[in-house]
Structure 1
Amino acid sequence: MLIYLTLLIAGYILGSLSSAIIVSKLAHLGDPRNYGSGNPGATNILRIGGKRLAAIVLLGDTLKGFFPVWVTGYMSDYPWIISGVGLAAFLGHLYPVFFNFRGGKGVATGLGVLLGFNWLLGILVLAVWLFVFGYKKISSLSALSAAIAAPFLAWWLISVPAICIVTTIMALLSLWRHRSNIARILNRREDGF
């Protein structure tokens, strides 16, 4: 039991490492929460720091979701432990202990968790994001579409209750974190990318 608790805490701590804030500080951009959209994520880093830095943030945020799930999968066969660690990493990104609990919206970290659960699930959710972005060129709308699709794809592909429930929780949290974007989309005032 102690090792599972350690894995949950480690997942949350790893999730709390904000790639956007770390990369911004290393690149002397300051805290990304004070610029652009105010969100510490790859899209905001793209706005304030360019494509190279955004790609680094995207990779970092995805890996911090994937890695804890992947490691836990090698140490445990229990879906509730594996999915719990994934949720812990996701919550760490949203509410990071190292950054006054002001985190991102969880898009890339959530993708990493889903890839850790099942690579095909992650790929299909990414495909939804890419399809909507290719059509509308609005990152937040793409993220919302992917979040809505994720639980349905999880139930269809995997049907493991623990993973499907955690995927649904992550989707709902992502929708909540995008509530200002939803309002702007409904008012037709949301900017592209």
Structure 2
Amino acid sequence: MKDFIILLVCYLIGNISFSYVLTKIKLKKDIREFGSGNAGTTNVLRVLGRKYAILVLVGDVLKGIIAIILGKLLASSEMYIILCGLLVIIGHNWPALMGFRGGKGIATSIGVFVTYDPIVAFICIGIGVLIIVISKYVSLGSVIGMSIFPIVVVMLSRSFEAFIFACCVSAISIYKHRANISRLIKGTENKLKF
């Protein structure tokens, strides 16, 4: 029963949408009515600007950090810690409190993996950021950075559980970016202006 409650709490933490709340406060509107229709950092950057985007980024990363800390402190096994991480990402991407229309989970996934395995996380984040800086495509850097998670886990000889965890996080990210991937292929994806 305790593990179930912890998992439910992690999912509900994921439901907290900083992009939605800040846009409601600032514009009295739903962030999903603007730009890409996504409740995430990049859309907030385009709609509200850098200051608000940073707040959303920090908030979403913290959700992932909190979920893994909860798992490590309270859950009964490694598998439950992994489930805490997955459920906070799922809660962010498909929040029941917002009609199951959330963000794409990159920042929350970063928070999860930075806390679960910092070395793997920082390698993938570094490569992802480098690709964003070079290409100006946030989606390209996000997809590649998340896609290499399982590869980095294997290269660093992490556990089989960590590999499965990385595969799940990677698959969720690729699935959520499928429209971006299609636009990248067509050459119609929006570039980020620094």
TM-score band, normalised by shorter chain: over 0.9
User: For 1:125 and 1:31, how far apart are their aligned partners in 2?
Assistant: 31
The offset of 1:56, in angstroms, is 0.3
Tell which deviates more after alignment, 156-165 or 12-21.
156-165
Q: Which moved more, 1:156-165 or 1:98-107?
A: 156-165
Q: Which residue identity lines up with residue 125 of structure 2 in the other structure?
A: L
Q: Is the 8 A contact 1:94 1:102 kept in 2?
A: yes
Q: How much has 1:116 moved relative to structure 2?
A: 1.6
**Greater shift in the superposed pair: 114-123 or 49-58:** 114-123
Aligned match of 2:186: 187
In structure 1, distance between residues paired with 2:86 and 2:39: 19
Aligned to 1:171: 170
Amino acid at match of 1:24: T
The equivalences for 1:18-97 within 5 A come to 18-76=17-75, 78-97=77-96
TM-superposed CA distance for 1:77, in Å, is 6.2
Deviation at 1:157, TM superposition (A): 2.9
- Work out whether residues 15 and 95 of structure 2, in 8 Å CA contact, stay in contact via their aligned partners in 1: yes
Shift of 1:3: 1.5
Q: Is the 8 A contact 1:140 1:181 kept in 2?
A: yes
Tell me if the contact between 1:20 and 1:40 (Cα under 8 Å) persists in the aligned partners.
yes
Residues 3 and 76, structure 2, Cα contact 8 Å, conserved in 1: no
Cα deviation 1:131-177 (Å, max 9, x = unaligned): 10121011000101111111111233352222221221111111111
Which residue does 2:118 correspond to in 1?
Answer: 119
Aligned residue number for residue 100 of structure 2: 101
Aligned residues: 192
Structure 2 portions without partners, runs of 5+: none
User: SS where residue 181 of structure 2 aligns?
Assistant: helix
Change (3 A) 1:111 1:6: same
Q: Deviations over 1:26-50 (max 9, x none)?
A: 2225111110111100000000000
Task: Assess if the C-alpha contact under 8 Å between 1:79 and 1:160 holds in 2.
Answer: no
- Give the stretch that moved more between structures: 106-115 or 120-129: 120-129
Matches within 5 A, 1:10-25: 10-25=9-24
Is contact 1:79–1:163 with CA below 8 Å preserved after alignment? no
Cα offset, 1:76, TM superposition: 4.0
- TM-score, normalisation: structure 2: 0.94
The percent of aligned pairs where both chains have the same amino acid is: 28
Q: CA RMSD in A?
A: 1.3
Cα distance in 2 for partners of 1:179, 1:129 equals: 17
Q: Is the 8 A contact 1:43 1:54 kept in 2?
A: yes
Structure 1: unaligned runs, 5 residues or longer: none
Instruction: Classify the secondary structure of the residue corresponding to 1:39.
Output: coil
Cα deviation per residue 1:58-107 (whole Å; 9 max; x = unaligned)?
00111101111012112346210100100000100110011000011111
SS at match of 1:103: coil
Alignment partners' CA distance in 2, 1:166 and 1:26: 36
